[in-house]
Amino acid sequence: MLKERYLSSCGLLQDKDGQAVVAIVGGADEDGSMETWNPLTSEIKLLWEHIPNLAEIYHYWAQLLPINQGTGFFLYGGKKGYDITSDEIWKYTVQNNSWER
């Protein structure tokens, strides 16, 4: 991985070319970044250094749920520290590499 990813969230997606990739979001040391890993080619791509508008989401221990046959996912929950949690839900769409609340 390109970033430290302990306590991150991951899930299987289809990239824009229809390849199966693993999306990795957040982690305790990576507030708001996202990358993909293609297990067939071992290629790693950093899609977002800092995901816009997600500054208030706490990206470790969040849950990632693939949707629409892997063409997107929901990211929900998460924690910062031991006692501050988030109840926000965000949707990521592969086709236009976008986020919406």
Q: What is the pLDDT of residues 49-96, one digit of tens each?
A: 877 666 555 567 788 999 999 999 999 887 766 677 778 888 999 999
Gyration radius from the chain CA atoms: 13
Cα 80 from Cα 16, distance rounded (Å):
32
Give the bridge partners for 89, in sequence order. 76
Cα 11 from Cα 59, distance rounded (Å):
14
pLDDT at 28 over 70: no
Q: What is the pTM of this model?
A: 0.85
